[in-house]
Structure 1
């Protein structure tokens, strides 16, 4: 009797340790452990070896854990029968008691404790578990042969894939870090922008065709300086017959270098200094274009629509700003696009993107066939706007305050005190 109780106690303790080991290693922060392993920590290195061989790990845990649980049930049932007889009721009670002991003492309790202290427990058990994996390796291989064959027949990999973090999980971790204060809000926003970088198309950030400042082939240095004085950009598309016939890009840097070398007079054409042009479809992803521009050295690309016409242009600076935020360029102050007049009133550049407007005004302007505030107002008005026109969406009212011909230039946005969600034109 004493021997049976001793065997049961040893089996329960062993099964509990196996269960705790499983829970701790599964729950540990693998990326932190891998970092420590690279720093030379032996127990962390053992955990990394275990997680790199998940099929062997689980095979070992299941083999030893189930064997110990069988011992608990068999010896416990035999002990009860020896004490109280072999009746059906006694066998049922013995089986039920053994099940309770296994579930509570050998499974639930140790796993719960190990999960709470996963970091500490995983380092304690890592090297013993790794040793068990080596000793039980041949037996585990035999027991897992059938599952591996079935997995192979079904078209999967023979070994279980090491768990990896997905993009969605990484974005969730960033959100959690912001909420807990370990990641600054500005850093979190930048990281989120990087994820969106590969999702957005070039047409989402391009300067539209009607806002491009062009240089015609044959333009003299004097003529170029007049254009530059009115529009101080760093680069200009050069066209021949019309704006769809772009033949190159003129860089102000090249013009200045030519002046410094004494090679330019007022009547000399500057378009001979132009460089080659990179043309891209408007559906190209921003991250792909960024890589192309890095490889080719282009700082500006012309965006082509489905009909082969020039839809707009995009600069390398504009693409970079999608990840790190506005840097300001070509004499435009970043604040000019969004000016705070008071706590509830703002003056906006009508070319401000819907995404920026939603972020800064805490709005939920609905998606549609538009990308800017101007496009949103045109969609709601369903006519050419005029100064003073108003449109309301949710708690914010927009008012057109400046036009340039048919183009909306500036808009005033006022956050109202009502929270009515319906959108209507006033």
Structure 2
């Protein structure tokens, strides 16, 4: 026996017809949520997140990087897709509602009720919830929606391009910034609902750090191998004491022959009782080193730090080599923001000379370099090799050690070596040719 629905316009309508429409609406709502989540996830990825994705040899990660090469087109196509899905939901929802509403003679009331219900559903399930979740888990969401986003990009890319050239093309930098700030306010509004409107900006930033905390890996926050300052096992007490005095670090890794052979950690405070001595067997103060892999999540590492009562770990790569160090301070900074002490470097990573020239710190990441220069993230992929920093990029390009004043060129850019300390390139002037 078939259940039937009576419709004034269509007469007898099978119940299965209504079921199909409901399934269509649910599918469209799911696509709308995915699109809204993708829009937030892609455009809240930090340089650390992008660096992390570049290290993942998966199709999803490659898709995310490729889509980020054309951010304006990506944003426009996602917006067009969301508009198309929303219109389709309104049409299907109106059609479905007319099957069940008994007082169709009240046209205005019927229209208002349908509009209110559909708007509420779209806002809650198609906008607010997916955006809040995507901001908390932007890397995970970006990877999850990468394939469907590529399909939407191909389907709506040209329409998005036309939309972008007619409307978004006229946005000034200030207007674009204001638009981005407005979008970021959606997340802050959700936080304010939890914290209360008297919450300070610092409290909001801390809460945002907590929400993003579980999504970060050790590799994203560690101090890279190049920045590690360690102590060789064979050094004399005087040399160790001078090293600690010059660096000011509270903990330093101890290694045998090179930094890949870390044997322990020295807490420099343990040396205080012996600083006036001419000689001392400092090896007795070495503590066991704690090793972690690059892909460990920092929330797990924090628990391990607390359980084992340690504050530093040696980060190793898949081959067992030392790729960096991570400290309790690095983890806390992800929540609280930068923690400055008397030994922190306050200098900026770059200085803008004019519209075409910058002086960069050699340690700046290639991703940040591309972002500041306004070029594609893969602009230097052909020459950068395994390097992640500007200094490494310069060495890959030159193939030899350089001197201050040396110049190199690649594509549209010229590189002038401004400062070298030891064998490290510390300052580079980058100019557009």
Give the structure-2-normalised TM-score. Answer: 0.50
Aligned partner of 1:228 in structure 2 is 244
Does 1:410 find its partner at 2:427? yes
Find 1:274's aligned residue among 260, 282, 286.
286
SS in 1 for 2:364: coil
Kept after mapping to 1: 8 A contact 2:188/2:204: no
How far off is 1:403 after superposition?
A: 3.1
- Secondary structure at 1:335's aligned position in 2? coil
Is contact 2:407-2:414 (8 Å) kept? no
Residue 182 (structure 1) shift: 6.7
Instruction: Give unmatched runs, 5+ long, in structure 2.
Output: 1-96, 121-127, 139-178, 190-199
Structure-2 residue corresponding to 1:39 = none
Deviations 1:207-226 (A, max 9, x none): 34454332234655423222
Which consecutive unaligned segments of at least 5 residues does structure 1 have? Answer: 1-63, 73-97, 119-162, 417-425
Q: Hey, what's the Cα distance between the residues in 2 that align with 1:312 and 1:270? A: 24
Question: Cα gap change, 1:316/1:347 in structure 2, threshold over 3 Å: closer, same or farther?
Answer: farther
Matched, 1:366 2:378: yes
Q: Which residue of 2 aligns with 1:250?
A: 266
Partner of 1:111: 114
Whose relative contact order is higher, 1 or 2, with alpha carbons under 8 Å and at least 6 apart?
2
Q: Contact 2:137–2:212 (CA<8 Å) still a contact in 1? A: no
Question: 1:285-304 residue pairs with structure 2 within 5 A?
Answer: 285-304=297-316
Deviation at residue 391 of structure 1 after TM alignment:
4.5
Aligned length: 278
Shift of 1:401: 1.7
Contact 2:233-2:256 at 8 Å conserved across structures: yes
SS at match of 1:334: coil
Q: Indicate which of 401, 417, 424 corresponds to 2:418.
A: 401
Which residue does 1:36 correspond to in 2?
Answer: none
Cα distance, 1:240–1:374 mapped onto 2, change above 3 Å = closer
- Asked if the contact 2:298/2:331 (under 8 Å) is kept, the reply is yes
CA distance in 2, matches of 1:366, 1:253: 44
The one-character-per-residue Cα deviations of 1:57-114 (angstroms, maximum 9, x if unpaired) are xxxxxxx997761xx5xxxxxxxxxxxxxxxxxxxxxxxxx5xx37x34532233367
| Structure 2 CA distance for aligned equivalents of residues 364 and 196 of structure 1 | 26
1:389 corresponds, among 407, 416, 419, to 407
Offset, 1:251: 1.2
Q: Give the TM-score taking structure 1 as reference length.
A: 0.50
CA-CA distance at 1:280 after TM superposition: 0.8
Cα 1:265–1:321, aligned 2, differ >3 Å: closer, same or farther? Answer: same
Q: 1:406 to 1:214 in 2, by over 3 A?
A: closer
Q: Distance in 2 between matches of 1:364 and 1:292?
A: 38
Aligned to 2:134: 168
